[in-house]
Amino acid sequence: MSDQVNIDKELNIKGEVCPYTFVKTKLAMETLSPGQVLKIILDHDPASVNVPKSLRGEGHEVLDLSKNENDDWVIIVQKKR
């Protein structure tokens, strides 16, 4: 899935924990225009649930949630508004 979409911005927040994982995600989302796509890399397990949930709560579309080759979480999200 993540190979097929165009990533506009990448955010590496490995080492961050909740709620700063979402705080930094949100700040990154604010720099994008609607339709653009953010790739988030994180390693705090609860954030793999919380960040997509909060992103959906703010109206964005989570396109993919997966683990990469380093066993980190990768979230692909499209800004909707």
Partner 1 sequence: MFEFTEDHIKRYSRHILLPEVGGIGQKKIYDAKVLLVGAGGIGAPVAYYLAAAGVGTIGIIDEDTVELSNLQRQIIHSMDDLGKEKAISAKETIEKLNTDVTVVTHLERASSANIMDIISKYDIVVDGSDNFPTRYLINDACILSNKPLSSGAVFRFNGQVMTIVPHEGPCYRCLYREPPPPDMTASCQEAGVLGVLPGTIGLLQATEVLKLIIGQGDLLCGRMLNYEALEMDFRKIKVNRNPSCAVCGDNPTITELDDYEAFCQMKF
From 2, 18, 32, 36, the catalytic residue: 18
- Examine residue 30 and tell whether it contacts partner 1 (CB under 8 A): yes
Among 7, 17, 27, 49, binds partner 1 (CB under 8 A): 27
**47: enclosing H helix or E strand:** helix 45-57
Instruction: Quote the tokens at residue 76.
Output: 């692909």
CA distance linking residue 49 with residue 65, whole number of Å: 9
At closest approach, how far in Å is the CB of 63 from partner 1? Answer: 21
- The reply to whether 18 belongs to the active site is yes
- Distance separating alpha carbons of residues 16 and 33, to the nearest angstrom: 25
Q: Is 9 in the site for partner 1 (CB under 8 A)?
A: no
Active site residues: 18
